[in-house]
Amino acid sequence: MSRRPLVREVPPTSWYFHRPTYLRYMSREITCIFVAAYCVLLVVGLQRLAAGPAAYEAFLLGLKSADSIVFHLLALAASVYHAATWFGATHKAMPIQIGENFVQPGVISGAHYVVWLVLSFVILYLAGVF
């Protein structure tokens, strides 16, 4: 008697349409495309900064375009979504036990959100935004 193992047919390119959970997973996955593209922009910016004042000013001026505004909006949405889901997962990635009990998930994620907000405001302040 032969036993046939169970082989589930998984369509490699459209499997994530099967469940809302998978779709949420994929929507988080694609944020990395915009974050990666933005990282490349940062490396280019560093190169321009090293090349001198004229090159750097031209780089800043080059950012002023409709395409750039759209890209920045996408990158902003992607990075904020990444941050929110990353902090939302912290209590699962590093649960903290004190005595018999685990620290409430909301406390761990909440602490990350607070640190995120404070850090962001400090950086905006240091950059002279306000």
For binding to another protein (CB under 8 A), which residues are involved?
Answer: 12-13, 16, 26, 29-30, 32-33, 35-36, 38-43, 45-47, 49-50, 53, 56-57, 60, 63-65, 68-69, 72-73, 75-76, 79-80, 82-83, 86-87, 112, 115-116, 119-120, 123-124, 126-129
Q: How far is the CB of 69 from another protein (least distance, A)?
A: 5
Tell me the H-state helices in 18-104: 20-29, 31-50, 53-62, 66-93
Cβ contacts of 71 within 8 Å, gap of 6 or more: 34, 37
Query: Cα–Cα distance between 3 and 125 in angstroms, integer?
Result: 67
If the CB atoms of residues 77 and 107 are measured against another protein, the closer one turns out to be 77
CB of 31 to another protein, least distance (A): 8
Distances in whole angstroms, Cα of residue 92 to Cα of each of 12, 62, 77: 28, 42, 24
* 3-state SS assignment for residue 61: helix
> Measured from the CB of residue 82, what is the shortest distance to another protein in angstroms?
6
The nearest distance, CB 107 to another protein, in angstroms, is 18
